[in-house]
């Protein structure tokens, strides 16, 4: 394949799902109620609480953004459901920042992902991230990884502000943003993910795709080029 730019997912692709599920999510859930109460007068947090109430109302749960207990209950439920809600992801990122800075944990990285991201960067291949986690959370993740500060490897980050990861339009939006600084077409971009539906959407948008299947056997005749390690990705 001919690739001019790589766009990668994080959870399950560069890093283990268990770190997010077993470390980050519980940490956010434990600290969220106190965090929003302590910061409810901050402009950014106040807007996120309003956005949470608005989304909850769309789901038939009418709450007041000023009711910290009700907002906390909704957000904690969303954490339990792993809901891809932008206000939740943004708040999680703000909470995780304190955890990273306090040294409470470091982000897990697969060794093969680190090796090849470094090689691709050294070869001049632009690397970008697209994750359901907020851009701020992504930067913390790579900035405080077990392999050290990996942020310099990446040219940019995208989150659900561009759209859901299983929607083709999201990848078209990313491509439009990338084309402002890179002379590329959709077919020049390789998207890496462990989720088939995300790859389906990227492929529909014209991108090349590679399916990371780390903890299961690769199926026969997969819909996307499938590998078990970054070492098996052929550019």
Q: Mean pLDDT in the chain?
A: 95
Same structural domain, 84 and 112:
no
Q: Considering 101, 124, 152, which residue would you say is the last residue of a domain?
A: 101
Same domain, 86 and 133: no
Distance CA(133)–CA(227), nearest Å, equals 24
Please enumerate in sequence order all residues whose Cβ is within 8 A of that of 153, keeping only pairs 6 or more positions apart, or say none. 117, 118, 121, 127, 142
The CATH number given to whatever domain includes residue 87 is: 1.10.720.60
Q: Model confidence at 142, in pLDDT bands (50, 70, 90)?
A: very high
The CATH number of the domain holding residue 148 is 3.40.50.1000
Confidence (pLDDT) at 130? 98
DSSP character string of 49-65 = HHHHHHHHHHTT----T
Q: Do 192 and 93 fall within a single domain?
A: no
The helix/strand/coil state of 222 is coil
Q: At what angle do helices 43-58 and 86-101 cross, to 10 degrees?
A: 140
The pLDDT tens digits of the residues spanning 61-81 come to 899 988 999 999 999 999 999
Whether residue 113 sits in one domain with residue 228: yes
Predicted model pTM: 0.85
Instruction: Concatenate the DSSP letters of all residues of 61-127 into one string.
Output: ----TT-HHHHHHHHHHHHHHT---HHHHHHHHHHHHHHHHTTS--B---HHHHHHHHHHHHTT--E
- In this structure, the answer to whether residues 207 and 143 fall within a common structural domain is yes
Domain span at residue 92?
19-101
Reported confidence tier of residue 146, pLDDT bands at 50, 70, 90: very high
Do 79 and 189 share a domain, yes or no? no
Residues 140 and 209 in one domain: yes
Maximum Cα interatomic distance, the chain, rounded to a whole number of Å:
54
Mean pLDDT score, 172-185: 97
């Amino acid at each position: 394949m001919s690739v001019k730019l790589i766009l990668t997912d994080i959870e399950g692709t560069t890093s283990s799902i268990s770190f997010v599920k077993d470390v980050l999510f519980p940490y956010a859930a434990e600290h969220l109620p106190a965090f929003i109460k302590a910061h409810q007068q901050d402009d950014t947090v106040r807007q996120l609480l309003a956005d949470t109430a608005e989304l909850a109302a769309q789901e038939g749960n009418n709450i007041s953004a000023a009711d910290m207990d009700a907002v906390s209950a909704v957000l904690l439920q969303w954490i339990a459901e792993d809901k891809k809600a932008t206000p939740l992801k943004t708040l999680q990122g703000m909470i995780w920042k304190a955890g990273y800075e306090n040294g409470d944990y470091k982000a897990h990285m697969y060794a093969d992902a680190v090796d090849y991201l470094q090689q691709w960067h050294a070869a001049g291949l632009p690397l970008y991230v697209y994750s359901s986690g907020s851009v701020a959370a992504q930067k913390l993740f790579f900035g405080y990884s077990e392999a050290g500060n990996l942020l310099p490897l990446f040219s940019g980050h995208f989150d659900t502000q561009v759209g859901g990861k299983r929607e083709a339009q999201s990848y078209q939006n990313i491509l439009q943003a990338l084309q402002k600084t890179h002379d590329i077409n959709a077919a020049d971009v390789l998207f890496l993910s462990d989720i088939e539906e995300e790859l389906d959407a990227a492929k529909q948008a014209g991108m090349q795709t590679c399916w990371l299947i780390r903890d299961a056997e690769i199926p026969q005749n997969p819909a996307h080029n499938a590998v078990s390690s970054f070492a098996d990705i052929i550019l």
